[in-house]
Amino acid sequence: MTPRKIALVTGASRGIGLAVAKQLAKDGFDIWLNYHSNHQAAQKAKTEIESFGAKVTLLPFDVADKDAVHAALNPLLEKDTPYALVNNAGIRRDNLLVFMQDEDWTKVIGTILGGFHNVTKTVLAAMIRAKGGRIVNIASTAAHAPVPGQTNYSAAKAGIVGATRSLALEVAKRNILVNAVSPGFIETEMLEGLPMDKIMPLIPLHRLGKPQEVADMVSFLCSDKASYITGQAFQVNGGVAM
For the segment 72-91, the average pLDDT, to the nearest whole number, is 98
Q: What is the pLDDT of residues 82-94, one digit of tens each?
A: 999 999 999 999 9
For the segment 49-68, the average pLDDT, to the nearest whole number, is 98
Contact criterion met (CB below 8 Å) for 177 and 86: no
What pTM was estimated for this model as a whole?
Answer: 0.96
CATH fold group of domain 6-236: Rossmann fold (3.40.50)
- Type of residue numbered 93: R
Residue 126 reports pLDDT greater than 80: yes
Q: What is the pLDDT of residues 177-187, one digit of tens each?
A: 999 999 999 99
How far is C-alpha 104 from the geometric centre of its chain's CA atoms? 20
83 is catalytic: no
- Tell me what pLDDT residue 95 has: 94
- Tell me what pLDDT residue 199 has: 87
Per-domain boundaries in the chain: 6-236
CB hemisphere CA count around 74 (13 angstroms): 7
| 198 confidence band (pLDDT: 50, 70, 90) | confident
For the segment 14-30, the average pLDDT, to the nearest whole number, is 98
d(CA 130, CA 191): 38
